[in-house]
Amino acid sequence: MDKRNKTQLQRAIGYFHGVTFLLSTIIGAGIFIAPKGVLKYSSLHVGVTLIIWAVCAVVSVISALTYAEVGTTFPRSGAQYYFLKKSLGSPFVFFCLWTGFFTTPAGIASRTLLLTEYVIQPFYPGCSAPTLPKKCLALAILWSLGILGVQGVKKVTWFQTISTMMKTTVLCLIALNGAVLLVIRKENLIRLGDAFSSDLPNISQIPEAFFQGLYAYTGWEAMVSIAGDVKNPAKNIPRCIFTALFLVTILYLLVNISYLTVLTPEEIIASDAVAITWADRVIPSYQWIISIGVSTSILSGLLSTIFSSSRLLYCASQEGQMPLLYSMLNIHSSPALPVIQTIIIASVMIFPSDLIRLINLLGFSGSIQMMLTIIGVIKLRYQEPNLPRPFKVHLSFALGTFILFFLLVLIPIIQSPKMYHIYVLCFILSSFLLYLVFVHFKFCFGWFNEVTCYLQLLLNISPPDGSEE
């Protein structure tokens, strides 16, 4: 059979498209939500806020380089899934898969609602937009992204390239305007200086402030999830991660300084759309430019999340922990069913939610998964020392990151336990129970084969021809 006509994932992402894909994934809703959360849990202390943003950048770089070792050692789609299964065993990787089964669509649903807020709000000046139009628009956006997500990697990368240029232009506009205003207006410099005199936060608030900041940097793991789509992964994955995170760190710090130059910490906390509030104060006649830029930023971030999460389910299916349907590809060499399932669950979750509380939940569960990954890296180093590793992270960096994430999980539980800690515990227990029933004992419903055949015909999907390189 002609190799070009095979039904399998295509390695179509090089260095340039890899960097733009990561920029598109990382720069999403986070930079427009997290500044409010970081300030809130930093007790409105600007110095602590900026330090947290900088430390979050360092932690994200080290965490991403740890994942880069995973992606270059196992250059296939859903590399972190395959790696965790090999290093820690099937039950632990099923736990990560199960928690992501719900937390990923929940995050997508919340960001979609935030996107509709930025799109609709300019049409309702001076008042809140009605709830029903926002929900309808959110559903329309979700399903449009789902249609684009099953069109294959090439169309997705071109869309991400265009959207990345738009969002970085808007963030640069915010950053440059803030720098100019800081220099030419002394009252802005005085206001920024006064904000450093606030009371310091207590120890129990610091982890939650970190969760808010780390949320804005999340998305770098997407490069490892799509390792099977990357050209020369041993070389391009580390380069793409380091380049993208360096650019994002500079942008985020400048944008936060710009927010704090124009707005007081109290005004940032009171705003539901910080970028729009900033634009109202600085360039009110060009508010629509900021609105379009923010909307594009969130839109492309949503597409990246949908795209990368589908690869994780694709890999889980190939390893026997998900039904075979999840690893079947359509004519565009895309795993269509994982995309459709994510969109359906996110559509059900389209309801008003507390974004800051949701971010804490995602940060808590994400910290647990990161600790499992670091344990797996260290264990595999000693278990299989001769395994080819084109890129290796220094173990001291990995251990330091593990200690930090361990403290981020432990301190809130001891100092101020929350309800979402119980939710995470329930997810852990339910994941192991489901693993025993459906994976270990291989329980299967008799009618599922008929459903498989029906969906295969309906979606025009088939198993891939051969395995990934």
Q: Give 62-95 pLDDT, tens digit per residue.
A: 888 888 888 888 887 777 778 888 888 888 888 8
Structural domain count of the chain: 1
Q: Quick check: 154 pLDDT over 50? A: yes
Residue 2 maps to a domain: no
Residue 468 maps to a domain: no
Q: String of b and e for 420-437 (b: at least 16 CB within 10 Å)? A: bbeebeebeeebeebbee
Q: How far is CA 283 from CA 277, 432, 445, 454, in A?
A: 10, 53, 60, 55
What angle do helix axes 153-184 and 287-318 make, rounded to 10 degrees?
140
Confidence of residue 353 (pLDDT cuts 50, 70, 90): low
Task: In whole angstroms, give the CA distance from residue 114 to residue 397.
Answer: 35
For position 1, what pLDDT does the model report?
Answer: 39
Residue 1 maps to a domain: no
Quote the mean pLDDT of the chain: 80
What's the CATH code of the domain at 408? 1.20.1740.10
What angle do helix axes 274-282 and 30-41 make, rounded to 10 degrees?
100
Residue 464 maps to a domain: no
Q: Per-residue pLDDT averaged across 147-157, rounded?
A: 71
Task: In whole angstroms, give the CA distance from residue 252 to residue 372.
Answer: 28
Residue 404 maps to a domain: yes
Question: Which range is least confidently modeled, 108-117, 324-333, 419-428, 453-462?
Answer: 419-428
Residue 453 maps to a domain: yes
Residue 237: exposure state from Cβ atoms within 10 A (0-12, 13-18, ≥19): buried
pLDDT digits (tens, 9 = 90+) for 252-274: 989 988 888 888 888 888 876 78
Task: In whole angstroms, give the CA distance from residue 445 to residue 35.
Answer: 48
Residues 182 and 189: beta-carbon distance below 8 Å: yes
Residue whose C-alpha is closest to residue 426's, from 361, 356, 337: 361
Task: In whole angstroms, give the CA distance from residue 130 to residue 120.
Answer: 9
Residue 261 maps to a domain: yes
CB contact set of 425 (below 8 Å; sequence gap of 6+): none
Q: Per-residue pLDDT averaged across 374-402, rounded?
A: 89
Residue whose C-alpha is closest to residue 331's, from 217, 439, 187, 460: 460
pLDDT digits (tens, 9 = 90+) for 179-232: 888 777 766 666 666 656 667 777 778 888 888 888 888 888 878 877 777 888
Token look-up 């009252």 returns 187
Residue 117: exposure state from Cβ atoms within 10 A (0-12, 13-18, ≥19): buried
Q: Per-residue pLDDT averaged across 15-19, rounded?
A: 84
Residue whose C-alpha is closest to residue 119's, from 258, 344, 273: 273
Most confident range, picked from 38-47, 145-154, 373-382: 373-382
Structural domain harbouring 274: 9-459
For the chain, what's the residue count?
Answer: 469
More confident residue, 38 or 29: 38
Residue 108 maps to a domain: yes
Q: How far is CA 22 from CA 102, 112, 225, in A?
A: 23, 19, 12
Q: Quick check: 51 pLDDT over 80? A: yes
**pTM (predicted TM-score):** 0.75
For position 354, what pLDDT does the model report?
Answer: 56
